[in-house]
Amino acid sequence: LKHPLDCTASEESLERLSKVARIEGFSDEESEEQQGLADLESMNPVNPRVQRYLVAIEYIGTRFSGSQQQAKDRTVVGVLQEAFHKFIGQPVKIFCSSRTDAGVHALSNVCHVDVERISKRKPGEVLPPHEPGVVQRAVNHFLQRKDGDVMVIDVRCVPSNYHARYKAQERTYFYRLLSGSDPLSILEKDRCWHVPEELNLRFMQEACRVLVGSHDFSSFRAAGCQAKSPMRSLDELNITEVPSTPYFPSITERTLSNLNNGDPLACSNQPKSETAGVTTNVGEVEGSTGGDSFGRRRRHRCYVVTARSRGFLYHQVRLIVGALKCVGTGELTVSDVERILEAKTVSAAKPMAPASGLYLARVRYEFP
């Protein structure tokens, strides 16, 4: 899909693009929107003085009201546009590849922005575009002067018709769950979903296999979804157990690691449980030696759900994780997940997982 955005675009065109950017899903049935964007390109010729940048960002979503710009609330796009404005001295319009809700984090979300570099000393004089590295350092400078919960991690020059949303080939989300009866560490606050019950990993993996592939995901689609079709193809859906993060080796592990030059997780002499290639010490207390466990925190078991697809429905991942968690605790069976999928109504689904455990991990592109 081709879609330019330059300084000659009308306010009506920008409003239309803003509406398109709010659509959560993507399907072939949205060809009318794509055609509309192609028509917009023909109406607004490319401005050769404008450079389009593809910008990858990471952020902690806790204090944001989502990624998309809003009139009054603090958003990722709003903060990023403010930083760009301070950098180049004029307002810009930023479009994200993927919308994230309030409280959702990003290891790498991608957006595009058009910049016309005009001399500050000689107003009206157009200068050559900034190098991507300059853009990254300068924008991060202004971002870190504020709250510091957004950072630019990569910048790339792209053609003026390269749209961050519609050129995306694939999106990957991670969802983190911590299982254990102990209270959640403050270091993990708003970064995961704490499930006090034990989770049956094997049953959850079986439920993942039910949902992988192309399906009508109406049962995993929130009421506010604006996508025209509920059909989506999940190219990957799995859950694995990983070391909890932040991870600090216990005194026993550090000692054994120094003696054996091995992996701390692999050389502990505590009872172990091996799952999906990851070895975890069951019920171990941080740093306990000789039965002295005072002041040591018990580790939670950490699970990560990975979901990969070209596009997702509104709240699809969180609704899926909500069902997987119920399978892990025994509230649902794998057959129940099949029944929910076939019901094709969100009323059949279990409550969705909270936003705090969801991370947009990667948006993949193909470059010429």
11-21 vs 31-43: helix crossing angle, rounded to 10: 150
- Number of helices (H), then strands (E), belonging to the chain: the values are 9, 13
CA distance 292 to 358: 36
Tell me the residue type at 211.
L
Q: Which helix (H) or strand (E) holds 137?
A: helix 132-145
Residue 23 has, within 13 A of its CA and on its CB side, a CA count of 19
Burial 251-279 (b: 16+ CB within 10 A, else e): ebbeebbeeeeeebbebbeeeeeebeeee
Annotated active-site residue 6? The verdict is no
CA distance 94 to 78: 9
- The DSSP bridge pattern shows strands 231-234 and 213-216 to be antiparallel
Which residue stretches of 180-294 are H helix?
A: 201-211, 251-260, 264-267
Sorted by sequence, the CB contacts under 8 Å of residue 117 that are 6+ apart come out as 51, 88, 126, 127, 128, 129, 130
Active-site option among 101, 149, 154, 216: 101
DSSP string, 8-38: T--HHHHHHHHHHHT-----GGGHHHHHHHH
Gyration radius from the chain CA atoms:
23
- Token representation of residue 51: 């450079």
**Which residues belong to the active site?**
101
